[in-house]
Amino acid sequence: MTFNAQLLSTPFIDPVGLSVCEGQQVQFNIGTSVGAQYQWQVSIAGGNNFTDLSNTAPYSGVDAANLNIANAVFNLSNAIYRCVITGICNNPLYSDTALLVVAPDAIVTKQPSNQKACLGEFVSFEANAGLNVDFQWQVSRDG
């Protein structure tokens, strides 16, 4: 009697959390395995409840090893993603979760105003563009 066994490997990699700026493209990847079926899910409840995603904007590849998010918007920030893998041994398999952080576009909320000063007087300019924004002041001498 001959016995043949086939080892079904699961060469999955867990998706990695990402921090991106608003408007950027995002891709989560878990690797592939022969015969596997994929369903990406999202949780906006801190990872307590997950909902299946569908291939509607901004998502594509919700049934593939690579989930794509086109034009990440700020309201996706702190969403948690995972993939459910079926079609191989130990169904279903769940990937680890990956947190998406989307930083909002910087918007100048306070413009500097013109100042007049006499020679030797101190002049101060102020601008504001929200949190976590670096400023680089520039001067123009040609108008």
Q: Is 79 helix (H, G, I), strand (E, B) or coil?
A: strand
Exposure of 85 by Cβ count < 10 A (0-12 exposed, 13-18 middle, 19+ buried)?
buried
Q: Which amino acid is at 89?
A: C
Which residues sit opposite 99 in a β-bridge? Answer: 80
- List, for residues 38-72, the tens digit of each pLDDT value: 999 999 989 899 999 999 999 999 999 999 999 99
- List, for residues 126-139, the tens digit of each pLDDT value: 877 766 667 788 88
- List, for residues 24-43, the tens digit of each pLDDT value: 999 999 988 888 899 999 99
Q: What is the DSSP letter of 75?
A: G
Pairing, β 18-21 against β 26-29? unpaired
SS3 per residue for the chain: CCCCCCCCCCCCCCCCCEEEECCCCEEEECCCCCCCEEEEEEECCCCCCCEECCCCCCEECCCCCEEEECCCCHHHCCEEEEEEEECCCCCCEECCCEEEEEECCCCCCECCCCCCCCCCCCCCCCCECCCCCCCCCCCCCCC
Query: Is 83 a residue whose pLDDT tops 70?
Result: yes
Segment 7-35 mean pLDDT:
82
